[in-house]
């Protein structure tokens, strides 16, 4: 009897501890974002006071307007949207095509190709930064280059250079293959007997069945590409017109050295975070599923 009581008491304690731990963690997750928003609303006088005023008494909502009028934010935003959507679309096309071939056809070398897809995911991105930079820089016949790859600037400072390295990802191919595997073979065979050619089968019969997979991959690529910094920064360092929001904000950091201007920087940071947050909160169901399918591959 005493044991049962003890375990009952421990269950109540555990319930308190459980929500206590989760709440404490949640505060640590959220407070930094609130701190950023408050910072964006602080007036120069509040920033320069010693100690600075924490709660903005006179919230400077105008900072969110100034971000667009005084900084090239509109241009950055456009680049972010354009590049993110282009990469997302390209990956949906290439991943679903390759994933379908690997899932539903038998052909010479299929297993070897699939093993390469799995193995290639283990190569870290840092290994590719230098060679891909110079492959694009000295790409034959691009950007004024001759056949030998010199003479012009190649793909340097072009959208192509930002987008192309992300046009296909091994992860995307792997993920779509997993979704295509769930499509019954009988359905495809029946369509063949009806005389449909392979492309019509893919487009009209199979693809509609993997829309959840496309949604998963789409949202995953969207979030990844919106937040991509290292490659975009490397390739657009000398091309301010092509920079995305995070890259632009980082490379313009020299403009925010004065304490009074830092509210504007924090407002710009908030603008770079909001689109992806809204997208994520709206579609998180698909996002989580994509990550699970990709992470636990063993």
Partner 1 sequence: MTHDRSPEARAPLTELSDAPRPTLAQRVGSKSVAPWIFIAPMLVFGAIFFILPLLYAGYISLTRWNGFTAPRWVGLGNYDYLLFTDPRFWDTFWNTIYFAAGTILIGVPLALVLAYAFTRAYGQAVWRSIYWLPYITNVVAVAYIWQFLLDDSFGLVNRALDAAGLPGPGWLTDPSIAMTTMILIFVWMQLGHNLLLFSAGLAGIDESYYEAARLDGAGERQLFLDITVPMLKPTLLFVLITNFITGLSYFVLMLVMADVAPQGPIKVTGLYMYEMAFSDQRLGRAAAAAYILFTVVLVVTLVQLRVFRRGGVEAH
Q: Is 184 in the site for partner 1 (CB under 8 A)?
A: no
Of 61 and 134, the one with the shorter C-beta distance to partner 1 is: 134
Q: Is 187 in the site for partner 1 (CB under 8 A)?
A: no
Size of the site for partner 1 (CB under 8 A): 97
Of 81, 132, 215, 260, the residue at the interface with partner 1 (CB under 8 A) is 132
Q: How far is the CB of 246 from partner 1 (least distance, A)?
A: 4
Q: Is 33 in the site for partner 1 (CB under 8 A)?
A: yes
Sequence length of the chain is 298
From first CA to last CA, the distance across the chain in angstroms is 46
Of 71, 213, 266, 286, the residue at the interface with partner 1 (CB under 8 A) is 266
Tell which positions 197-216 bind partner 1, by CB under 8 A: 197-200, 202
Q: How far is the CB of 265 from partner 1 (least distance, A)?
A: 7
Helices (H), 164-261: 170-181, 185-193, 198-200, 211-226, 230-236, 245-251
Number of neighbouring beta carbons within 10 Å of residue 132: 17
Of 66, 280, 283, 294, the residue at the interface with partner 1 (CB under 8 A) is 280
| CB burial string 87-120: b at 16+ within 10 A, e below | bbebbbebbbebbbbbbbeeeeeeeeebeebeee
Of 230, 241, 255, 258, the residue at the interface with partner 1 (CB under 8 A) is 230
Q: How far is the CB of 247 from partner 1 (least distance, A)?
A: 7
Residues sharing a CB contact under 8 Å with residue 59, sequence separation 6 or more, in sequence order: 41
Residue 139 three-state SS: coil
- Dig out the tokens for 90 from the structure: 């390209």
Query: In angstroms, rounded to a whole number, what is the distance separating the alpha carbons of residues 79 and 191?
Result: 42
- Dig out the tokens for 139 from the structure: 């790409």
Of 17, 45, 74, 187, the residue at the interface with partner 1 (CB under 8 A) is 17
Contact at 8 Å (CB) between 105 and 198?
A: no
Of 111, 116, 182, 204, the residue at the interface with partner 1 (CB under 8 A) is 116
Q: Which stretch binds partner 1 (CB under 8 A): 29-37, 60-68, 153-161, 209-217?
A: 29-37
Query: Whose CA is closest to 112, among 126, 99, 127, 102?
Result: 102
Q: How far is the CB of 65 from partner 1 (least distance, A)?
A: 20
Q: How far is the CB of 237 from partner 1 (least distance, A)?
A: 8
Of 53 and 68, the one with the shorter C-beta distance to partner 1 is: 53
Q: Is 28 in the site for partner 1 (CB under 8 A)?
A: yes
Number of neighbouring beta carbons within 10 Å of residue 156: 22
Of 78 and 125, the one with the shorter C-beta distance to partner 1 is: 125
Q: Which stretch binds partner 1 (CB under 8 A): 63-71, 153-161, 209-217, 244-252?
A: 244-252
| Helices 170-181, 73-104: inter-axial angle, 10-degree rounding | 50
Q: Which stretch binds partner 1 (CB under 8 A): 64-72, 154-162, 196-204, 207-215?
A: 196-204
E strands present in the chain = none
């Amino acid at each position: 009897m005493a044991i049962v009581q003890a375990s009952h008491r421990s269950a109540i304690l555990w319930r308190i501890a459980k929500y206590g731990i989760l709440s404490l963690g949640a505060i640590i997750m959220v407070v930094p974002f609130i701190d950023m928003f408050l910072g964006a609303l602080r007036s120069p006088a509040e920033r320069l006071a010693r100690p600075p005023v924490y709660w903005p008494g006179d919230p400077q909502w105008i900072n969110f307007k100034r971000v667009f009028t005084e900084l090239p934010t509109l241009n950055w935003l456009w680049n972010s949207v354009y590049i993110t959507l282009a990469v997302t679309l390209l990956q949906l096309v290439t991943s679903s095509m390759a994933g379908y071939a690997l899932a539903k056809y038998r052909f010479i070398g299929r297993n070897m190709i699939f093993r390469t897809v799995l193995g290639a995911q283990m190569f870290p991105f840092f290994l590719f930064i230098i060679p891909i930079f110079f492959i694009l820089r000295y790409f034959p016949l691009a950007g004024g280059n001759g056949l030998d790859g010199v003479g012009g600037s190649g793909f340097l400072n072009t959208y192509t250079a930002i987008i192309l390295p992300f046009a296909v990802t091994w992860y995307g191919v792997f993920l779509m293959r997993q979704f295509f595997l769930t499509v019954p073979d009988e359905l495809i065979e029946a369509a063949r007997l009806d005389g449909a050619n392979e492309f019509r089968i893919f487009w009209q019969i199979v693809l509609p069945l993997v829309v959840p997979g496309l949604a998963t991959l789409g949202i995953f690529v969207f979030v990844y590409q919106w937040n991509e910094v290292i490659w975009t920064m490397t390739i657009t360092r000398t091309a301010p017109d092509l920079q995305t929001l995070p890259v632009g904000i980082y490379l313009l950091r020299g403009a925010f050295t004065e304490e009074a201007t830092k509210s504007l920087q924090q407002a710009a940071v908030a603008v770079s975070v909001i689109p992806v947050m809204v997208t994520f909160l709206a579609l998180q169901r698909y996002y989580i599923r994509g990550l699970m399918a990709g992470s636990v591959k063993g």
